[in-house]
Amino acid sequence: MAALASALRLGQRIKIQGRRFLNLHEYQSAQILAAGGVTVPRGIAATSVEECVKAAEQLKGDEVVIKSQILAGGRGLGTFTNGFQGGVHVIPKSKTEEYAQKMIGQTLVTKQSGPEGKPVNTLLLAEKMDLVNEMYFAILLDRAYGGPVVIACAEGGTSIEDLAEKYPEKIKKVPIDIVAGMTDTQASEIVDALEISGDKSAAIEQVKALYGVFRDSDCTMVEVNPLAEDSNGTLIAADAKLGFDDNTAFRQKEIFAQRDHSQEDPRDVAAEKWDLNYIGLDGSIGCMVNGAGLAMATMDIIQMHGGSPANFLDVGGSAKKEQIVEAFKIVTTDPNVKAILVNIFGGIMKCDVIAAGIVAGVEEVGLQIPLIVRLEGTNVDAGKDIIRNSGLNILAADDLDDAAKKAVAAIA
């Protein structure tokens, strides 16, 4: 969170989200909800055109819903990079092959995906439902309330952000005591806010079942948009998205085994693998620092001298040579990086270990951009000797201010 605060202070756009929360695809979320007693539409996930055709044949009715599975909202209004419009369609079964060919294996760009979009490796084929009333329902962890908060709105199936901005009075928020859980009174209040027209008692049980999934699965978010009623008055979680706290991975192993790395930035995945704290920004000077506070100060001083940091990267206080090499690989895979500033204050972390990692990293990646290194602290003389004797084109800096100036000047 400190890195996010620094990025926001610098007025930069954060390209890579932190790794605290696991998100699952719609079809995976539906399976978890169904296991928790929540009513969901019947659907079949497919990873090829042939599987899509077979899945459609197994579903009832003459029409099916074909949905792109990406970890970003706004799929229905999205555009594929091949020009095909919309990531969600209701189609005759006879057109399943035609649509699947245009969607699977392609990249979908939505309002929430960023301009680079997300790869569509899986399509969900679902039975078309006769929905007569669409609502919005979510459970989120909210710092302001110090626990879960249910957000309910009688209007759903569209952008909740736009609705909340135009008509904030239509949004109902119900804080839940994490110890006491959701009471019948609260569930009834939520159902009233949703303006359910069918069986209110059954709807209350569905709302409580949704909270049960949130609690038992260690969710940070359960978002259902739309939560809908069919012509029989049955409440259905027509489209759901779940998020989970990474700190609970040790007791939610089946859920975390479903993580889709293809939806994440490869740098973020690599950073987690090597226990590095990394957040990508939109600047041009790559940073490698030990300690979050020093990393934030480094980003600030780069900005102060007219540059822009390309990332927050804290290698920690006990990084090994191999981690430093991998950190170099992560930073240099960003095409926007035009120079790298390494700022190390050796305490627990020894400057000679960092220096050895820097030299190995430069040699392994074949670095072609300016590299500025500032070392201070434990074994600093040994570290400087390693860099000096490496024969590599590395600019040494006397202090942080000097390092930032040299980094900015290097790309001027």
Residues with active-site annotation: 136, 223
Q: Beta strand pairing status for 79-80 and 43-46?
A: unpaired
Answer yes or no: are the C-beta atoms of 338 and 369 closer than 8 Å. Answer: yes
Taking residue 306's Cβ as centre, other Cβ atoms within 10 Å add up to 11
Can you tell me which residue has the tokens 């259902």?
Answer: 224
Three-state DSSP at 109 gives strand
Phi, psi of 60 (to 5 degrees): -75, 155
CA 302 – CA 407 distance, rounded (Å): 8
User: Over the Cα atoms of the chain, what is R_g?
Assistant: 25
CA 240 – CA 30 distance, rounded (Å): 7
Q: Cβ neighbours of residue 144 under 8 Å, at least 6 residues apart?
A: none
148 preceded by a cis bond (ω within 30 of 0): no
